[in-house]
Amino acid sequence: MDRPSVRRGEAGMVTAETAIVLPVLMLVLVGAVAAVTVVGAQLRCVDAAREGARAAARGEEVAAIAGWAGRAAPDGARTQVRTTEDEVRVTVTAEIAPLGPLPWRVNVAGDAVAAREPSAVPGG
């Protein structure tokens, strides 16, 4: 039986291909982790804004609203509350570093609107 012969020039080809593909795979993995981190922070901002809007709709003070929102928000998030006679709007914004110590920052925000409860409306 004849064995297929291996050309001498192709003996290290698998090692060379791995050396090229491995950094690309690592870059894709880092990008996926960064994307998941950004999406997770975005969802936390939306949840925090909803919590704050519920508290504001009940007629809570601004400090209490920020407290409710702060429990669900990413670290360092800022809460803004705007009220009208009929509704409240809470916006939670945060700056995150999806790649840890690297100097890339992303701003994410969540916004929620809730109708004021009748007992919370001034004069209502």
Residue 77 falls inside a structural domain: yes
The boundaries of the domain holding residue 58 are 14-120
CB 56 within 8 A of CB 104: no
What is the reported pLDDT for 123?
42
Report yes or no on 86 lying in a domain.
yes
Q: Is position 8 within any domain? A: no
State the total domains in the chain: 1
Task: Give the pLDDT means over successive 10-residue stretches in the chain (124 positions).
Answer: 58 77 92 95 96 91 89 92 90 93 92 87 47
pTM of the predicted protein model: 0.76
Quote the tokens at residue 62: 């601004």
Q: Does a structural domain hold residue 113?
A: yes
